[in-house]
Structure 1
Amino acid sequence: MTPETRIAQWLLASVFVVAGGYRLWQALHGVPTGNNTLLLSTGELLLGVLLAAGWRLRALALLAAAALLADAALSHPFWKFSGGAQAAQLLQFMKNMGLVGGLLLLSGAGGTRRR
């Protein structure tokens, strides 16, 4: 893997580590957090750590891309809004799409040898 691809791998992984880790950190410091959020945040943190480590990189990058596609559609339905709210949701939706693109590229660059 090229140095540029490795850096991209770590940057993409950092999104999951920071997002999941931040919510878990807040829960540890008394912020009310539901069990589903705790479970998803733990999974997100683990996904980021495994991506950073390069464990089963191709499959994990595809799994992360699918999760972000679902998150974009479920959490940022810009088509249901108008005005400033629509712009804010569209921005978050497109951020997720950019991350999906990076994860798809990473899945193609994966860390395993082809035969």
Structure 2
Amino acid sequence: MLVRRIARPMLAAMFVVGGLSQLRRPAAKVATAAPLLDAVGSVVPLPADQATLVRANGAAMLAGGALLATGRVPRVASTLLAGSLVPTTIAGHPFWSETDPARREQQKVQFLKNVGLLGGLLLAAVDTEGKPGLTYRARLMGQGVQRSLRTTRREARHLTHAAAQEARLRTAQAQNALS
């Protein structure tokens, strides 16, 4: 559909540009990401070099953005981008910790913009392009297997019944021939 061909690259553009920026200049984002990385690092072991984590996030954004923009595995790409957007949003726009009202408002707008992007990514992640989703296909396949089993059982009963009739008929014919 034309809308998907236009909307996907539009949605992906920010992630491609942001991912390239994080890959090229991770130091610019390390200070911003440090509080979140420290908090997560206290619960889950993370590499000590925070620039590596910023680059990894940038690589995820670049790869996911490129895949989404080109329409290749768009559901997987959208899910990857959504996963990279959550920590980026929390670390990059903590409006709740700003004391300056103007700065707080600016951070809130950027936070809500990212929440809107997250909503778009979630929609893209569940978009099956009008085709049945995996759950539906699996259920349909399961119904087909069940139907095949019922048919096979029915045919086996008919064959057993027909074989028994044939055996009775031949037995009766053999007895008539002997008498």
TM-score by length of 2: 0.52
For the 8 Å contact 2:95–2:107, the answer to whether it is kept is yes
Structure 1: give runs of 5+ residues left out of the alignment.
Answer: none
Across the aligned residues of Structure 1 and Structure 2, the Cα RMSD in angstroms comes to: 2.5
Query: Hey, what does 2:126 align to over in structure 1?
Result: 108
Query: Hey, what does 2:74 align to over in structure 1?
Result: 57
CA distance in 2, matches of 1:43, 1:52: 14
For the 8 Å contact 2:93–2:107, the answer to whether it is kept is yes
Q: Which amino acid aligns with 1:66?
A: G
Task: Give deviations 1:15-49, integer Å, cap 9, x for gaps.
Answer: 1111112343457xxx8x83333332222211111
2:52 to 18, 35, 38: 35
Structure with max Cα Rg = 2
Q: Which amino acid aligns with 2:23?
A: L
CA distance in 2, matches of 1:85, 1:76: 10
Q: Relative contact order (alpha carbons < 8 A, sep ≥ 6): 1 or 2 greater?
A: 1
1:97 aligns with 2:115: yes
Query: Hey, what does 1:20 align to over in structure 2?
Result: 19
Seq. identity, %: 34
CA distance in 2, matches of 1:21, 1:58: 22
Stretches (4+) displaced over 6 A: none
Structure 2: give runs of 5+ residues left out of the alignment.
Answer: 31-50, 138-179
Compared with structure 1, are the counterparts of its residues 67 and 24 closer, same or farther at alpha carbon in structure 2 (3 Å cutoff)? Answer: closer
CA distance in 1, matches of 2:83, 2:55: 20
Task: Give deviations 1:60-85, integer Å, cap 9, x for gaps.
Answer: 21232232223222321111113112
CA distance in 1, matches of 2:98, 2:123: 31
